Structure 1
Amino acid sequence: MGNCMSTSTPLKSINSNPNSATNVKSSNQSIPTQRSDDEMLSTPGLKAFSCNDFANGIEYSQSLTEGGEYSDIVFKGWIDKQTLCPSTPKTGIPVSLKHLKSEVFKGDKEWLAKLNYIGQLHHPNLVKLIGYRVDSEDWFLVYEFLPNGSLENYFFREGIQPISWETRMKVAIGAAKGLSFLHDAESQVLYRYLDASHILLDDDFNVKLPAYLAPQVMDIQGYARQGYVAQGYAAPESVDSVYGPGCVSTKSDVYSYGILLLVLLTGRRALKKSMISDQYLLNWVKLFRRKLLQIMDTKLEGQYPENVAVAVAALALQCTDSNLNSRPEMSHVLEKLQEALTL
């Protein structure tokens, strides 16, 4: 294993004025100034909803709830498209309201500054954060409504038709673009929470990463991190006592992305728990390093280009190298994935 390259908080630096748009790095991946209403809600900053807002007219949505066993509850509400004031299903547009567990986050000025910065990062593969609501000690995040819920629904929920190879690769590209954008932002964002339950999907299966998780995960040994580790996506240096708690970097995100690729290829959970022993997907895949086609999801029924599948699997193994210094940067991963899909 390599040495830990960074022990920074999710945001390395934030301008003293969290509402300043100059914090965001200009990029060809950024959304143009003029965006259609269907792409994103346009707001000058995060809206602070009052405790009476959404007092009525919200409903629990199991399909939108993220994170499995360690999830925060998500509700569905409605707001006016122009004023962002609470509305009704007949006159408003749907939004998601995510209840935050008090054990997981810090609702202080530093946390809000980070959240405001995240709210200014605009990219087609990031969830649009609209605002937050405070009810005494309870906090809610308000963000765009994504009707297809999480990627996990399409792999590990009974009765759901398997998604095609083309859709899986669309998800892989979208997640890579979102992560690459976050890593290249002027105030770099370490995502730290990538797994199938936190890959959100719009009605056309475009990936939307909930970047608001970055400031939420404050303590690597905290409740949220335990839930993440339990999913099997955490890089070894982020949990290994040899490095010490909090040893995370962009390469930790790359590792998690590699695990995500393996989930997309195999249709298996990153970690399968049993009474006998825990079975990690990565360890199983490594048994077939020389015969990577044997790891492919049988539900695909062979409907995929074999040479591309092998190239994507090999890239996943590069991303999950135990030596973090041997893992590629996310921008390089995106480039290699795009090249593989043209084979």
Structure 2
Amino acid sequence: MAHQADLVIVGVSVGVAIGFVLAACAFFGVRWYRKRSRLQHSSSSRSVTTLPIRMNGVGTSIDSSASLSSSFSFHGPQQLTKINQRSKDLYTPTSGILNYSYKDVQKATQNFTTLLGQGSFGPVYKATMPTSEVVAVKVLASNSKQGEKEFQTEVLLLGRLHHRNLVNLVGYCVDKGQHMLLYEYMSNGSLENLLYNEGKQVLSWEDRLQVALDISHGIEYLHEGAIPPVIHRDLKCANILLDKSMRAKVADFGLSKEEVLDRKNSSLKGTYGYIDPEYMSTNKFTKKSDIYSFGVIMFELITAIHPQQNLMEYVNLASIPKSFQQASMSPDGIDEILDKQLTGKCNLEEVRLLAGIAHKCLHKVPRKRPQMADVSQAISKIRHRRLHKEDTMSFSVSDVPQIVKRIEDQQVEMSSMASLKESVEQ
């Protein structure tokens, strides 16, 4: 009997243990499933389809993942009303940016007659708001499905990104089938127009150095200051705007993307001439891809040669090869490709220093490119070096007449004292 009782106890114990293990497995399995579902939902809600590769000055685009027929969508009146309402519901609670009616924008742009230019997104108009604030209105080309997604990205990102070197989004309009973005007005236009359009004012070396520093601060904020970090993905001279004081600000965030841990490959996007070769081969876009694009912009500031006019070939010819994957800038080489409008009007040592920084940003191996904070610091040192020299020269030029006058006064005073002494002795 005792032996049978022991067997019963052992059997009950084993059954309880097995039941406990099964319950624990079920509990942790449910938790794992719920966590996975939340992550997938978060990832899908944050991902935004963006515009394809764009050519400067060309209205066509290329996308390896979609046909041209799928780039446009035509909606009936009822569908359009639903889309507009959905867009308003999407932006209003999250961004805090002002929502303008179509009538407000129409009046501010004098019935859309104040055209400033034409971009890949659509026409851009100058507008004067009822508060007397002057803004630029970017109108989405009608019925562009891809453009609508770019529009959403701009509003949602710029609703939380604020920095003195990023163009400020003043408001938006989703009304009467139109999608419009209202930005602060940048009176000196784009860096591309200033560098390449004949008849425009010539950018001095001092201005170009300041522009490089301004851009670096803007990108540094995106990479290091924004939470989560943001990768711009379309840095180019056309997307750098200058205000009345010639201070540069980064614009056009339609292709931008928040940096997330699970980066997924996507169709190739960006602008020819500025795209990181590593990104073209792997489809993986990182902060270092932005840094490559900024390296191209710095060489544009130095040479005024457009990337689509063989800029990189000129840069490679101006480089001294050290190894298979590395080269350095030749002082003589960079002097030869310097913008002719800067000849004799700039400090060549400063040009060479900036070219050296730009060259490091173009390193073939992305991990060997510098962080944007290091790039900003290096450009700041060139800027401070210039300011220090200017202060020294200012002292030597402006203070010399005062010093000479003080010496002359002292000599007159000493002569008077000597004469007085002689009179007393006599």
For the aligned pair, the TM-score class normalised by the smaller chain equals 0.7 to 0.9
Shift in alpha-carbon separation, 1:72–1:214, aligned structure 2, 3 A: same
Give the corresponding residue for 1:46. 97
Instruction: Please tell me whether residue 124 in structure 1 is matched to residue 164 in structure 2.
Output: yes
Q: Kindly state the Cα deviation for residue 318 of structure 1 after the two structures are TM-superposed.
A: 0.6
The one-letter code of the counterpart of 1:55 is Q
- Of 231, 234, 254 in structure 2, the residue corresponding to residue 213 of structure 1 is 254
TM-score (norm 1): 0.72
Structure 2 CA distance, aligned partners of 1:269 and 1:114? 26
Q: Distance in 2 between matches of 1:51 and 1:65?
A: 20
The structure 2 residue matched to 1:56, chosen from 96, 107, 110, is: 107
- Give the drift of 1:229: 2.4
Determine helix, strand or coil for the equivalent of 1:252. helix
2:286 match: 249
Q: Distance in 2 between matches of 1:159 and 1:9?
A: 43
> Aligned partner of 1:154: which letter?
L
Q: Is the 8 A contact 1:118 1:211 kept in 2?
A: no
Determine if contact 2:211/2:247 at 8 Å carries over to the other structure: yes
CA distance in 2, matches of 1:137, 1:107: 15
1:142 aligns with 2:182: yes
Equivalent in the alignment of 1:282: 312
- For 2:181, what is the secondary structure of its paired residue? strand
- Residue number in structure 1 paired with 2:32: none
Structure-2 residue corresponding to 1:13: none
Partner Cα distance (2:115, 2:192) in 1: 12
Give the deviation of 1:215 after TM superposition: 4.6
Partner in structure 2 of residue 271 of structure 1: 308
Summarize the Cα distance change of 1:77–1:62 in structure 2 as closer, same or farther, 3 Å threshold.
closer
Gaps of 5+ in 1: 1-7, 11-16, 22-43, 82-91, 273-278
For 1:175-324, what aligned pairs fall within 5 Å after superposition?
175-184=215-224, 185-210=226-251, 212-215=253-256, 221=267, 225=269, 228-230=270-272, 232-240=273-281, 243-244=282-283, 247-272=284-309, 279=310, 281-289=311-319, 290=330, 291-324=333-366
1:56 positional shift: 3.2
Structure 2: gaps of 5 or more residues: 1-45, 49-89, 259-264, 320-329, 386-426
Determine which structure has the larger helix proportion and give its number: 2
1:104: Cα distance to partner? 3.3
Aligned residues of 1:150 and 1:200 also touching (Cα < 8 A): yes
* Partners of 2:101 and 2:115 in 1: CA distance: 25
> Is residue 382 of structure 2 the alignment partner of residue 340 of structure 1?
yes
In the TM superposition, residue 73 of structure 1 has moved relative to its aligned partner by 1.4
Pairwise CA distance, 1:121:
1.9
Q: Provide, for residues 32-56 of structure 1, a one-character-per-residue CA deviation record: whole Å limited to 9, x for no partner.
A: xxxxxxxxxxxx8211222333223
2:367 is aligned to 325
Give the aligned residue type for 2:241: L
Alpha-carbon spacing, 1:265–1:113, altered in 2? closer, same or farther (3 Å)? closer
How has the CA–CA distance of structure 1 residues 65 and 175 changed in structure 2, closer, same or farther, with 3 Å as cutoff?
farther
Which residue among 97, 109, 119 is the counterpart of 2:137? 97
Against the structure 1 CA distance between its residues 324 and 208, is the aligned structure 2 distance closer, same or farther, given a 3 Å change threshold? same
State the shift of 1:149 in Å: 0.9
Would the alpha carbon gap of residues 142 and 216 (structure 1) be closer, same or farther in structure 2, given more than 3 Å must change?
Answer: farther
Q: Distance in 1 between matches of 2:248 and 2:318?
A: 29
Shift of 1:194: 1.1
Cα–Cα, structure 1 residues 129 and 57, in superposed 2: closer, same or farther, change >3 Å?
closer
Q: 1:76 aligned to 2:105? A: no
**Shift of residue 157, structure 1, vs aligned partner:** 1.0
Identity score, percent:
28
- Could you give the per-residue CA deviations for residues 216-254 of structure 1, whole angstroms, max 9, x where no partner exists? 99x9647xx3xx423x111112323xx13xx11111110
Residue in 2 that maps onto 1:37: none
Tell me what 1:39 maps to: none
State the SS of the aligned residue for 1:95: strand
Secondary structure class of the residue paired with 1:131: strand
- 1:98 alignment partner, SS class: strand
Distance 2:191 2:371 in 1: 24
**1:321-342 Cα distance to aligned partner (Å, 9 max, x none):** 1211111111111111112334
Structure 1 residues 49 and 57, CA gap change in structure 2 (3 angstroms): closer
Contact 2:136–2:185 (CA under 8 A) maintained in structure 1: yes
